Structure 1
Amino acid sequence: MTTSITKALLYNYTYPEYRKLVADLLKEGKSTGEEQSEDLTHYSYLNDTRMNRLDKTIKVSEENSIQLKSLQNEFTWLVISEGWCGDAAQLLPVFNKMSQLSEEKIELKIVLRDENLDLMDCFLTQNARAIPKLIVVDKETSAVLAHWGPRPKAATDLILNYKKEHGIIDEAIKTELQLWYLHDKGNATQEEIIEMMLALDQELSEKKYFAKVKLG
């Protein structure tokens, strides 16, 4: 995993670069990823429109903003994504806004799943290459501290319950999921990630303190 992380930290996209990549491919009638199809290109068009809207409308509460700025350590958020992924389109604008408000405590980097399958396979969800996957890395040591994704718990439960009842994931539940994201406005994602980050930050600070004390 160390090699995969090192590669991803060296070769990645900033958020604006990722948005431009997706938009430029769409001009050619393409999506990101190895597989190309009309459906994936269609999803990428929808996602590009969603992200344009979310970039303008996503809000982070004052309390959440203060907590992000309170982080004592510096982190990299390494996100595995693809332009056709509906969950990624809903969540990447949230990640970007949070990183911007952290006052450089968090740096957002994005890699494409199909170009980083060795990395993706280290962070499977129920043996599936589900995205987006947010990997939290200690910026000082490049150590992986935690990972989150591919969606908030309430959204995950929505999908699991539907699949349990109907046995499939179809367009109906995909539409219902997008409506859930629309009504949630990124709040569940923010709460889950901030809770995780505060715990990681405290743990990392304690480790660094005790390491310093041990060294005398």
Structure 2
Amino acid sequence: MSITAEKIITEEIIDHAFTYEEYRDMIDDLLEQAKTTGDNHSDEMIHYTKMNVQRMSRWDNRVELNDSLANKLNNLDEDWIWVVLTEAWCGDAAQNIPALVKMAETSENIDVRFILRDQNLDIMDEYLTNGGRSIPKLVCLDAETLEEIGTWGPRPEMAQQKAMEWKEDDSVSKEEWAKNLHKWYAKNRNKELQKEFEQLISEWQN
């Protein structure tokens, strides 16, 4: 656990973080102004954000937790806060966040909050993936002490492995890379994500 990270995810950060509903409303409000989160409001980034709104809305209606994961969540007897670093234009965030929200909603003991990566780079830089500021990144905290319990992200491990393989393949263009990744999410239907969180919840419990 990073001592620095533990200190910079403060009560003030959490108090000002978004609920999922607030996060979604904020994105909608920005899109009405032809903007997205962050400083890059190019047509490309706006397009990504619009696609992500569609993805989140679709998953909001489709995510179904498997019985084993639901039971673990229902039987959780520790109070946690899940702080998720994200941005509206991030495709991986849109694919995974609805399932994370569903998990939190299933347990009375988990409160999930969202903060924007580019407004919190001091926090983001404590949770780099292979040296990069990859999102989404979930940090599980003890709700009382704000002690860091564990982390997850930015993708299910199977998706991360495939994403890195495609990235290293010179024959796969950036567009093909993204298409392949989103096809993987559609086909997998959160199964790998749920499997990972079954294991993580067991590891994170004292």
Shorter-chain TM-score tier: over 0.9
Counterparts of 1:188 and 1:89, CA distance in 2: 16
Q: Structure 1 residue aligned with 2:80, among 75, 78, 90?
A: 75
Given candidates 195, 198, 201, the residue that maps to 1:194 is 198
2:40 corresponds to: 35
Q: 2:61 aligns with which of 34, 56, 60?
A: 56
Q: CA deviation at 1:3?
A: 3.8
Tell me the secondary structure at the aligned position of residue 78 of structure 1.
strand
- The one-letter code matched in structure 1 to 2:193 is T
**Pair 1:95-2:100 in alignment:** yes
Task: Note if contact 2:68-2:198 (Cα within 8 Å) is conserved in structure 1.
Answer: no
Match of 1:18 among 20, 23, 28: 23
* Distance in 1 of aligned mates of 2:25 and 2:112: 16
For 1:142, what is the secondary structure of its paired residue? coil
SS of match in other structure, 1:91: helix
Deviation at 1:158, TM superposition (A): 0.9
Partner of residue 46, structure 1: 51
Instruction: Say how many residue pairs are matched.
Output: 201
Distance 1:35 1:79 in 2: 21
Which ranges of 4 or more aligned residues in structure 1 deviate by more than 3 Å? none
Using the TM superposition, give the Cα deviation of residue 167 of structure 1 relative to its aligned residue in structure 2, in angstroms. Answer: 7.9
Deviation at 1:85, TM superposition (A): 0.2
Instruction: Give CA deviations for 1:46-78 in whole Å, capped at 9, x if unaligned.
Output: 000111111011111122111111112111110
Q: Is there any run of 5+ residues in structure 1 with no aligned partner, and where?
A: 205-216
Q: Does structure 1 residue 112 correspond to structure 2 residue 121?
A: no
Distance 2:178 2:8 in 1: 31
Does 1:171 find its partner at 2:175? yes
- Which residue does the alignment assign to 1:209? none
Which range moved further: 124-133 or 58-67? 58-67
1:63-113: CA deviation from partner (whole Å, max 9, x where unpaired): 2111111112111110000000000000110000011111x1111000000
Q: Separation in 1 of the partners of 2:7 and 2:39?
A: 22
Which of the residues 8, 29, 44 maps onto 2:13?
Answer: 8
* Larger CA Rg, structure 1 vs 2: 1
* Structure 2 counterpart SS, 1:34: coil
Q: Which residue of 2 aligns with 1:65?
A: 70
- How well do the aligned residues superpose, as a CA RMSD in angstroms? 1.3
The aligned residue for residue 150 of structure 1 is 154
Structure 2 residues without counterparts, runs of 5 or longer: none
SS of the aligned residue for 1:166 comes to coil
Deviation at 1:169, TM superposition (A): 6.2
For residues 62 and 168 of structure 1, the distance between their equivalents in structure 2, rounded to whole angstroms, comes to 37
Which deviates more from structure 2 when the two are superposed, residues 137-146 or residues 87-96? Answer: 137-146
Aligned to 1:207: none
- The letter of the residue matching 1:32 is T
Q: Distance in 1 between matches of 2:173 and 2:69?
A: 33
SS at match of 1:174: helix
TM-score, normalised relative to structure 1: 0.89
Aligned-residue sequence identity (percent) comes to 35
